[in-house]
Chains A and B, each alone.
Chain A
Amino acid sequence: QVQLVESGGGVLQPGRSLRLSCAASGFTFSSSAIHWVRQAPGKGLEWVALISYDGNNKYYADSVKGRFTLSRDNSKNTLYVQMNSLRGEDTAVYYCAKDRDLGYMDVWGKGTTVTVSS
């Protein structure tokens, strides 16, 4: 069964760093681009970033560009997002999602929660 499982969320102070992971199973991870999407409390969905199947191409939303970095380890079927200089507005549930047709998201994880607060 196709599955994505996020982990690594937590509570931390502004300015700190955090690394989230997304573990994949049930499909050929090394052939799939993967997105991160977040949802702040009481808000809608916001696309955050995309990494290509081989990790060579990465796209970021302006709100995280320069602070978030995507990487992947295809030997471990795992995707990472390194989040630096965290701000209160980064507080959200973070979802990873498998890409379809370079821009749609056809399989989603259940999310991991990041809370940035002093």
Chain B
Amino acid sequence: EIVLTQSPATLSLSPGERATLSCRASQSVSSYLAWYQHKPGQAPRLLIYHASNRATGIPARFSGSGSGTDFTLTISSLEPEDFAVYYCQQRSNWPLTFGGGTKVEI
């Protein structure tokens, strides 16, 4: 099973600041990595797939990069609605796995 390790566990920032979230895979997943945003009581939302492709309706301030084992989600300028938990997920190997999440808080 591929283990995804996200860092940091918590990121404390203010609106307008840049957020950089990391996801490291225990073995190469090529570019088969997605990022999701999850707020309490809501459905998770797909942000990025194939490492760097924005999903439908996702604002341009969200961007993804990386390949192999190291990936980054960047939020260029935090909006109040961006404070949430972010998960990476790989689809390179079965079983599909998620990282442990990074909480972006004010």
Q: Chain A interface (Cβ within 8 Å of chain B)?
A: 35, 37, 44-47, 50, 59-62, 95, 97, 100-111
Q: How many A-B residue pairs have CB under 8 A?
A: 62
B residues 26-43 in Cβ contact with A at 8 Å: 32, 34, 36, 38, 41-43
- Contact status of A108 and B97, CB under 8 A, knowing A45-B87, A100-B49, A101-B49: no
Closest Cβ–Cβ distance, residue B47 to chain A (whole Å): 10
Q: 7 A-B residue contacts at CB 8 Å?
A: A44-B87, A61-B95, A100-B49, A104-B46, A105-B44, A106-B56, A111-B43
- Contact status of A108 and B91, CB under 8 A, knowing A47-B97, A101-B50: no
Contacts of A110 in B (CB 8 A): 41-43
Chain A residue with the shortest CB-CB distance to B41: A110
Kindly state the separation between the CA atoms of A12 and B89 in the bound complex, as whole angstroms.
Answer: 30
- Contact status of A103 and B100, CB under 8 A, knowing A110-B43, A111-B43: no
Contacts of B41 in A (CB 8 A): 110
Contact residues of A: prevailing secondary structure: strand
- Contact status of A108 and B98, CB under 8 A, knowing A45-B36, A103-B32, A103-B91: no
Closest Cβ–Cβ distance, residue A41 to chain B (whole Å): 12
B34 touches A104 (CB 8 A): yes
B101 touches A105 (CB 8 A): no
A46 touches B98 (CB 8 A): yes
Q: Chain B interface (Cβ within 8 Å of chain A)?
A: 32, 34, 36, 38, 41-46, 49-50, 55-56, 85, 87, 89, 91, 94-101
Instruction: Name the 5 nearest CB pairs between A and B, nearest first.
Output: A103-B91, A108-B43, A47-B96, A45-B98, A44-B101
A108 touches B44 (CB 8 A): yes
Kindly state the separation between the CA atoms of A2 and B17 in the bound complex, as whole angstroms.
Answer: 33
One of B49, B87, B94 near A104 (C-beta < 8 A): B49
Kindly state the separation between the CA atoms of A37 and B96 in the bound complex, as whole angstroms.
Answer: 10
Kindly state the separation between the CA atoms of A36 and B63 in the bound complex, as whole angstroms.
Answer: 26
B49 touches A44 (CB 8 A): no
Kindly state the separation between the CA atoms of A110 and B44 in the bound complex, as whole angstroms.
Answer: 8
Chain A residue with the shortest CB-CB distance to B87: A45
